[in-house]
Structure formats: structure tokens, C-alpha cells
């Protein structure tokens, strides 16, 4: 390998995820997302009752967000330009842990940024 390798996450590194997820929960799901500590499982409560969502309910909401709401995710200012500039000097891999079924949607989003993808080799959408 003649060039360094940079491995980057996508959510909250290149694209906003938490704020769009929070807004979607409040606007359409009747859920408040308030991160008061480090425990994500304690951050989501039903607006009507104040009760915490179960882990299964959290995963269900995350899945539905990625199934239908990825268009809400916008680039973090400067992140795409920065990763593109790094790709001049290193190989770049962008990882994501979204389910396989969502990969086509993320790939479609990524294809809307051809100027970036032309400069980055090995993008894992």
C-alpha cells in the first residue's frame, strides 16, 4: 500500500444524523429525543406518557428513520470538502452500519454528489 488509508464513519462525521432523527421523532412519531447523558437508551421518551421507549422500540424507530428519512440527513459543513481533500493524499473508505436494505438509498444519495465520489476511492455506501 503506497498511500495511507483513512476510514471514516458517515453519520455525525460526514452527515448529520442525530438532529434529523430527533426532529422526525418529534414531528411524526410522538417521541422526544433528549440526550442528557451518555446512554442513548435513556434519551427517547413517549411525549404522551413520558415513559422511556424500550430497546426494541428504539431499534424500530431507527430502522424506520433509515428506511424513509435519510433525505433529511444533510452534510456537515466542510466535511465533504475535507474528506475530498484528504482523498488527494490517502485512500478513503466511508463506513456505515445501516441495514443492507438501506444501502441502495444511501448509494442514491451519494450518487447525487458525483464530484465527491469521483475523488474518493472505495466508498462503501
pLDDT at res. 67: 83
- Between 78 and 25, the higher pLDDT residue: 25
Among the candidates 72, 87, 112, a domain finishes at 72
96 close to 106: Cβ distance less than 8 angstroms: yes
Q: Are residues 83 and 125 in the same domain?
A: yes
Angle formed at CA 115 by CA 110 and CA 118, multiple of 5 degrees: 85
Q: Are residues 52 and 66 in the same domain?
A: yes
Of all residues in the chain, what percent are helix, strand and coil, respectively (each to 5)?
A: 45, 15, 40
Mean pLDDT of 66-92: 88
Q: Are residues 64 and 25 in the same domain?
A: yes
Where does residue 10 fall: left (phi above 0), alpha (psi -120 to 50 degrees), or beta otherwise? Answer: alpha
In the chain, how many domains are there?
A: 2
Q: Are residues 96 and 119 in the same domain?
A: yes
* 112: containing domain: 1-16+75-125
- Could you tell me the pTM of the whole model? 0.75
Q: Does residue 1 have a pLDDT over 70?
A: no
The enclosing H or E element of 24 equals helix 18-24
Q: Are residues 5 and 43 in the same domain?
A: no
* pLDDT tens string 11-46: 899 889 999 999 999 999 999 999 888 888 899 999
Q: Are residues 108 and 83 in the same domain?
A: yes
Q: Are residues 46 and 4 in the same domain?
A: no
Q: Are residues 79 and 122 in the same domain?
A: yes
Amino acid at each position: 500500500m503506497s498511500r495511507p488509508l483513512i476510514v471514516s464513519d458517515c453519520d455525525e462525521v460526514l452527515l448529520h444524523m442525530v438532529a434529523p432523527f430527533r426532529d422526525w421523532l418529534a414531528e411524526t412519531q410522538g417521541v422526544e429525543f433528549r440526550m442528557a447523558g451518555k446512554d442513548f437508551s435513556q434519551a427517547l421518551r413517549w411525549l404522551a406518557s413520558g415513559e422511556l421507549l424500550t430497546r426494541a422500540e428504539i431499534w424500530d424507530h431507527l430502522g424506520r428513520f433509515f428506511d424513509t428519512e435519510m433525505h433529511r440527513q444533510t452534510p456537515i459543513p466542510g466535511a465533504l470538502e475535507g474528506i475530498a481533500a484528504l482523498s488527494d493524499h490517502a485512500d478513503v473508505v466511508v463506513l456505515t452500519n445501516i441495514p443492507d436494505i438501506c444501502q441502495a438509498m444511501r448509494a442514491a444519495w451519494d450518487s447525487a454528489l458525483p464530484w465527491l465520489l469521483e475523488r474518493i476511492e472505495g466508498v462503501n455506501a
